[in-house]
Amino acid sequence: MVALDNLILILNFLVASFVQGNALQCWQCSSKTEGHEEFCGEKLIQNKISEKLEKTGLLTQNCSKFETHGHNTDETQNLIAVCRKKILKVNEETIYQRHCDFVDKRAKESTCKREKIAENSRIIDCEDCTTDYCNNSNSIIPSLLPYIVSILIAKFLSN
């Protein structure tokens, strides 16, 4: 049983390292942007994205690094990339936004809801996640997938 536990730990580490080692990919859109209204709502509906718009590459964002402009300060070393989904109320209109952002990895909770925004706006909801394209809906399943897969592989290999 100890060998299985060790195998699970090693596989979790390897899968987590692989997932974190690649550049984080996020959806980037706003329901307020012309042409985005059809697919960038509460959920991102991929089959409603036009082929022309998809080919532009503007709907996805590579969040690989924080632009430090040559400075390697303690502050930037503690930042991690996240995919963000934000729901705003602007003049009583609901707007959905998705993009990449950077947060302090030492923070116990997201600071997204406390961001300063325009006077006529308010943040209704805000979610951060750390797996590729996880800002498409409000599900945490994509975040758990690497760990579930590694446990299943470990069980299969232990037999």
Sequence spans of domains, the chain: 24-142
**Tokens 């080919």 appear where?**
55
| From the candidate CATH numbers 2.10.60.10, 3.50.50.60, 2.40.50.140, 2.30.110.10, the one assigned to the domain spanning 24-142 | 2.10.60.10
pLDDT at 29 over 90: yes
**Pairwise pLDDT comparison (108 vs 43), residue with the higher score:** 43
The pLDDT tens digits for 55-88 are 898 899 998 755 554 545 666 778 888 999 999 9
Cβ(76)–Cβ(106) under 8 Å? no
Question: What's the DSSP call for residue 32?
Answer: T
Amino acid identity, position 35: G
What global pTM score does this model have?
0.66
pLDDT at 2 over 70: no
